[in-house]
Amino acid sequence: MVSQKTNGGDAGIGRSIGQARGEDVRKSFVDHLNAALKPKCINTFKDDEKLEKGKFISPEIVRAIEESRIALIIFSKNYANSTWCLDELTKIMECKNVKGQIVVPVFYDVDPSTVRRQKSIFGEAFSKHEACFQEDKVQKWRAALEEAANICGWDLPNTANGDTRTRSMLQIMEFTL
């Protein structure tokens, strides 16, 4: 999630990046994104702490989401495997609907329709979630995913050229700022 704080001063950008093991975008694409945002005086927050199953998202992440003006959601192939990411997404969409937070989805090496319809790897993740969580929680996650995936965003294939992806992200940021 990219977020721009509303309390004046520096623009604070935070992001909710979804991946089960933290490897599919956190240490590659996101590092390029953070490096590109830093010279623009856009601060980022990270959810790099060890995220344990069954635990709630930290109050710091909730506060960062709530104080954000813009949320950049980076959907990756493993996004739906992470209940933390799904909880963060639910909070982001709540802020969009209640506070008017701007939400910009980025589909990183995943088709937007896969996210929207929760098919393929997303469907497999939800089959597992349905066996472990209450139906109302899973339905909130599904609704948040569908709503977010219906927002016009950017579709970025996983290419070897990190500079191209970074330039795309800067275009996204300039568009949203």
The answer to whether 88 is a known catalytic residue is: yes
* Token duo for residue 88: 């963060």
Span 150-168, mean pLDDT? 71
> In Å, what is the CA distance from 62 to each residue of 29, 90, 117?
23, 11, 26
Residue 124's pLDDT band (boundaries 50, 70, 90)? very high
* Token duo for residue 148: 């977010």
pLDDT of 110 above 50: yes
CA 154, CA 118: separation in Å to the nearest integer?
A: 18
Catalytic residue, from 88, 124, 130, 147: name it: 88
Hunting for tokens 């579709």 — which residue is that?
Answer: 155
pLDDT of 107 above 60: yes
